A and B are shown apart, each in its own frame.
Chain A
């Protein structure tokens, strides 16, 4: 799992770390569970989910999950992963 640079909607730069990749039932799209940390000295971080797509050259890129139902399901999965469900 690797670290990567992210920029959020407020143009703030942060550090992302990939944690796990999963799929929801009847949905072929991959979802990446990753953490986002502030680059400053603060202790703030967050767990995030986003679609993980692959471009023609084989490189991955992130796409936000717009559908609220999908996002809710992804949150449930994250909870299950944290509890060691699989």
Chain B
């Protein structure tokens, strides 16, 4: 209960802080980046508390706990003033809205109820202002607010999960044996455990070319419960293993083939050299022999 109160207290503090900063923004004649930033931070924290409150306070308040109700009432009084002030501000804006409902953002006028003039860019603040909830004056109204927020939050969560993650740029392109077949297998394997499907975030990692070298005849102690990613059938585990083993083997084979090709090319080049050298040597020997024969023949004739 005490922890709940603390969270509850913080929630109302944040609401008040938001109201305070927004009020400054709404009445400011020039843009105030500092307070805009403050509102943003408060909004972020409030979003967290919204989800907490829906689950916790909603339940507790429905039980009608008197202590919490009293605590709630003491907070509501302060909050009501803040919200009333904002509602007056909203009304002031509505007065400056044209008859067809459109708003002229360039108009900066003195309001009739004595409030400070609206800043020229108040249209932008209006967006923030929409985050204001209606006045809360009872714990039933608070529960209604929480339930409405629950309805609002759930679709947002679904949207964020329905987005597909961006793929990481492939550093090394390795063609698989049958790409389509393998991608089907992988899809099937990835679908085996729903827990894995929850992770749509971008995964950043580096595959390491490391040949695992375990000591022979040893048994490795593992914590199966902590290290478990997902459960799969044995057949699927073997498929995965083969998938990676084949890729490893194929890479090795590819390297071997390229090595053989280089050797063969070098060998071919060497043979050509030998043949050429042989032919040249034979030619030179024949020429020298013919010359000697001619010289001897000439000398004999002479």
Q: Which residues of A contact B (CB under 8 A)?
A: 1-2, 4-10, 13-14, 16-25, 30, 32-33, 35-38, 43-50, 52, 54, 58-62, 64-66, 71-86
Task: Pick the 3 closest A-B CB pairs, nearest first.
Answer: A8-B224, A35-B237, A76-B203
Is there contact, CB below 8 Å, between B241 and A6? no
Is there contact, CB below 8 Å, between B222 and A1? no
Closest to B191 in A: A82
Closest to B232 in A: A45
Query: Interface segment, B137-145, B181-189, B274-282?
Result: B181-189
A71 CB to closest chain B CB (Å) equals 7
Is there contact, CB below 8 Å, between B221 and A7? yes
Query: Interface segment, B1-9, B91-99, B168-176, B293-301?
Result: B168-176
Q: How far is the CA of A18 from the CA of B210 in the complex (A)?
A: 11
Q: B197 to chain A: which residues have CB within 8 Å?
A: 79
Q: Which residues of B contact A (CB under 8 A)?
A: 167-168, 170-172, 176, 182-183, 186-187, 189-190, 195-197, 199, 201, 203-210, 212-215, 218-237, 240-241, 244-245, 248
Of the candidates B220, B235, B237, the one whose C-beta lies within 8 Å of that of A62 is B220
Q: How far is the CA of A78 from the CA of B233 in the complex (A)?
A: 17
Q: How far is the CA of A24 from the CA of B227 in the complex (A)?
A: 16
Is there contact, CB below 8 Å, between B244 and A8? no
Is there contact, CB below 8 Å, between A82 and B196? yes
With A45-B233, A76-B201, A86-B170 in contact, is A19–B244 under 8 Å at CB?
yes
A-B contact count (CB 8 A): 179
Q: How far is the CA of A64 from the CA of B228 in the complex (A)?
A: 10
Is there contact, CB below 8 Å, between A36 and B206? no
Q: B248 to chain A: which residues have CB within 8 Å?
A: 1
Q: A24 to chain B: which residues have CB within 8 Å?
A: 204-205
Of the candidates B176, B186, B208, B230, the one whose C-beta lies within 8 Å of that of A30 is B208
Q: B170 to chain A: which residues have CB within 8 Å?
A: 85-86
Is there contact, CB below 8 Å, between A61 and B214? yes
Closest to A19 in B: B244
Q: B201 to chain A: which residues have CB within 8 Å?
A: 76
Q: B241 to chain A: which residues have CB within 8 Å?
A: 1, 17, 19, 35
With A7-B222, A45-B237, A59-B214 in contact, is A85–B208 under 8 Å at CB?
no
Is there contact, CB below 8 Å, between A9 and B224? yes
Q: A75 to chain B: which residues have CB within 8 Å?
A: 195-196, 199, 229
Of the candidates A45, A60, A79, the one whose C-beta lies within 8 Å of that of B234 is A45
Of the candidates A7, A13, A18, A49, the one whose C-beta lies within 8 Å of that of B212 is A18
Is there contact, CB below 8 Å, between A21 and B227? no
Q: B189 to chain A: which residues have CB within 8 Å?
A: 82
Q: How far is the CA of A20 from the CA of B201 in the complex (A)?
A: 21
Closest to B225 in A: A9
Closest to A18 in B: B212
Report 29 cross-chain contacts, Cβ distance below 8 Å, ordered by A residue. A2-B212, A4-B218, A8-B222, A8-B224, A9-B223, A17-B237, A18-B212, A19-B244, A22-B205, A22-B206, A22-B207, A35-B241, A45-B233, A48-B224, A48-B227, A48-B228, A49-B227, A52-B210, A59-B215, A60-B214, A61-B214, A64-B222, A75-B199, A76-B199, A77-B205, A78-B229, A79-B199, A85-B168, A86-B172
